[in-house]
Amino acid sequence: MNENLTPMEAPKPLVDWKNAPKLQNLKQDYLDAKSTHDAQVNKIEGWLDNLNVTGKALVKTPDGNSKIVPKLIRKQAEWRYSALTEPFLSTTDLFNVAPVTWEDKDAAKQNELMLNHQFNVHIDKTHFIDEFVRAAVDEGTVIVRTGWEFSEEEYEEEVPVVQFQPNEAFGETLQQIQQLQVENPTRFDIDVPDELKQALEISMQQGFPMEPVVVGSEVQTKVKTVYNRPTLSVCDFRNVIIDPTCYGDIDKASFVIYSFESSLSELEKDGRYKNLNMVNVDTSSILGMPDHATTDGSKNFNFSDKPRKKFVVYEYWGYWDIDGSGIVKPFVASWVGDTLIRMEENPFPDKKIPFVVCSYLPVKRSVYGEPDGSLLEDNQKVIGAVTRGMIDILGKSANGQTGIRKDMLDATNRRKFEKGMDYEFNPGVDPRVGVFMHTYPEIPNSAQFMLQLQNMEAESLTGVKSFTQGVSGQSLGQVAVGVRGALDAASKRELGILRRLSNVILKIGRKIISMNSEFLSDEEVVRVTNEEFVKIDRKDLAGNFDIRLSISTAEEDNAKAEELAFMLQTGASSADPGEVRMIRAEIARLRKMPDLAKKIESYQPPPPDPIQQQLQQLELAKLEAEVALLQAKVANEQATAQLNETKIGTEQAKAANLSSDTDIKNLDFVEQESGVKQERAKELHGEQARSQAQLKLLDRQFKTEDNKVDLMKEWIKSRNKQK
């Protein structure tokens, strides 16, 4: 019986469900899945031993022999860490949220801002990504627990007591505040005090300026939110038991059981746990829970006082027929020892188990994956055996020692020899035979070849190349295609791993978006740049979205920026100004200068100088006058040519009729009598007169416009001199 309970005390029921699960039902699922879980734990612990050269990876050799084990797996992993973390950490805007429908366009922008803000501010992104990638590389599987934490506290604050009095002179201030509200609502909400907002509202209602006047103060109890944010934690694989029948998809798991360390103080502060007075902290101590894995520091340490004393809490996420309808529903339950302290329906909006799993190297129909260490175990053992053999050979040889025949030197010359002085050797003894210098034996080439072969095989298995050797023409042949092919193959392998990691980050992003629409406060303010703030309303976060990751390396961003810069250089003369501005903003964004990109996108050229505009108009009028003058000259030339053609026709008619004087006289008589000759002459003279008049008019107009331009230029020069 629990020593903390009185004889009449009993646990309080946590729910009023018709068919609530019992604690023994939950523990039975734990026991049934534990054998499969323990088998996987043994595999992972073996991989970690090989990685860190501990436990099973240590070798037993006779005393005096080498016990070294080269860290081949660790070397490969160290090169893999940075290659997989940098794409996630190289950008501040990790998530890109796109709407599925046009109606969700604004909501998608809000979610993108909020999601990136949470990852950059509320979540330690660097620490999380490092832990996430290292767990995947080292253990082959990474399990992430998503959640939400909320805390608020009461405090007392002395606030002024304000009365509103009519003041016509205060109207100008209210007008400025109203203008700020219209032009920049976000700055209005942040910068304007509450009493001025109230004054503006009251003034609008009464139609007269009302000024807030402080008449005193009072103490008020207020509540402020300490934190309201999503949480992400990389779980210890030993403390998460997953339904073994999920066939590699944790979303299809019927349950996940997670154990963690806590205390009565922490659970009481959380507010979701009941029956805490019935928990026996002594029997549930972490020291007496061998199934729960702890850090090295907490294995032999615990607090002595009851509020802080650590114990193990088991948390069950799964599905149960809670109402007896035959249809299971998601729920969560927690217990300590034999006491249920929590049971409720799944509080998360998506109603799914709040765990995501990522496999480094997938295993068919298994939720767990494999690390590179599972492929390199034999290679590390062979390299270790060859290395230890070479060290033993060198260690057992007497390097630097000198042997002398006993009869080669007498006692006096022996002392001289040891002191490095000239000496005499006995007759009949050849010093070339009597003195022997010991040296290290030659390491056979076969040993070095074996080491090189194992390293090359390790590189081919993982795609990770050593820093010293890398990919060279000697290792792949002198054909450039071969080098490029090997690099592409290694990149594709690494890209495949990166895709699997990215897919899990996307799942995390979707879970956070669903939680934001449910758990966020009504208003959040997110800084977009150093000068711009955006107000986010929780009601505007709902919708259907596609989430993508904006992951890239610094090298990739620089390459893109150089390509865009080359595009500007080649087509800047004929490109549209808006297109040029867009490309420049993208270059700034790739160079990690978001503020500059924002300024480039929002840049508006200054309005043109009105004087300069007028001068341009006068220049245009001058050109138009010149064109009109040329057209008039052309018309005059055409009239003159027509007159000449008429004269030529008359002369030809006269020449044709010179043979007959009668005909000429008759023709002349007829023209004079009919008036044709006079009309023709009058018409020709009239055309010439009109052309001359038009020419003079255009010439005067041209001179007038030219004078205007000259006067305007002189005025601009005088204005510039005055400045």
Q: What is the pLDDT of residues 392-407, one digit of tens each?
A: 887 777 666 778 888 8
Burial of 430 (0-12, 13-18, 19+ CB in 10 A): exposed
- Which residue numbers in the chain have pLDDT < 70? 1-11, 103, 186, 288, 295-301, 398-400, 465-491, 522-523, 525-546, 550-556, 571-575, 592, 608-609, 613, 643-723
CB 319 within 8 A of CB 255: yes
Query: Would strands 141-166 and 355-359 be described as parallel, antiparallel, or unpaired?
Result: antiparallel
SS3 (DSSP) at 373: helix
> Is residue 266 exposed (0-12), middle (13-18) or buried (19+ Cβ within 10 Å)?
middle
Which three-class secondary structure state does DSSP give residue 560?
helix
CA 1 remoteness from chain centre? 54
CB 367 within 8 Å of CB 357 = yes
Identify the pLDDT of residue 482. 41
For the record, the structure tokens of 394 come out as 């060198």
Which tens digit of pLDDT belongs to each residue from 638-653?
Answer: 777 776 666 666 666 5
Residues in CB range of 402: below 8 A, 6 or more apart: 435, 436, 437, 438
For the record, the structure tokens of 651 come out as 């002369």
Strand, coil or helix: what is 97? strand
> CB burial class (10 A; 0-12, 13-18, 19+) of residue 467?
exposed
**CA-to-CA separations, 534 to 110, 345, 424, in angstroms, rounded:** 9, 35, 97
- SS in 3 state form for 25-80? HHHHHHHHHHHHHHHHHHHHHHHHHHHHCCHHHCCCCCCCCCCCCCCHHHHHHHHH
CA pair distance 567, 304, nearest whole angstrom: 69
Closest CA to 392 of 340, 426, 425, 440: 440
Q: Dihedral angle at the C-alpha atoms of 372, 378, 382, 388, nearest 10 degrees?
A: 80
Take residue 580 and report the two structure tokens written for it: 């040029």
Please state the φ and ψ torsions of residue 97, each to the nearest 5 degrees. -105, 120
Q: Contact, 258 vs 164, CB < 8 A? A: no
Note the helical H segments in 397-542: 411-419, 431-434, 445-462, 473-476, 480-519
Residue 214 pairs in a beta bridge with 162
Positive/negative CA dihedral, 408, 413, 416, 418: positive
For residue 222, give the H/E element and its range: strand 210-234
**Residue 154 parent element (H or E):** strand 141-166
Residue 479: predicted pLDDT: 40
Among residues 330, 499, 380, the alpha carbon closest in space to that of 50 is found at 380
Residue 571 is predicted with a pLDDT of: 67
What's the Rg (C-alpha) of the chain?
46
314 within 8 A of 338, measured Cβ to Cβ: no
Inter-residue contact 312 to 339 (CB < 8 Å): no
Which H or E run contains 435?
A: strand 435-437
Contact 373, 149 (CB under 8 A): no
Q: How much is the pLDDT for 34?
A: 93
675/157 Cα distance (integer angstroms): 114
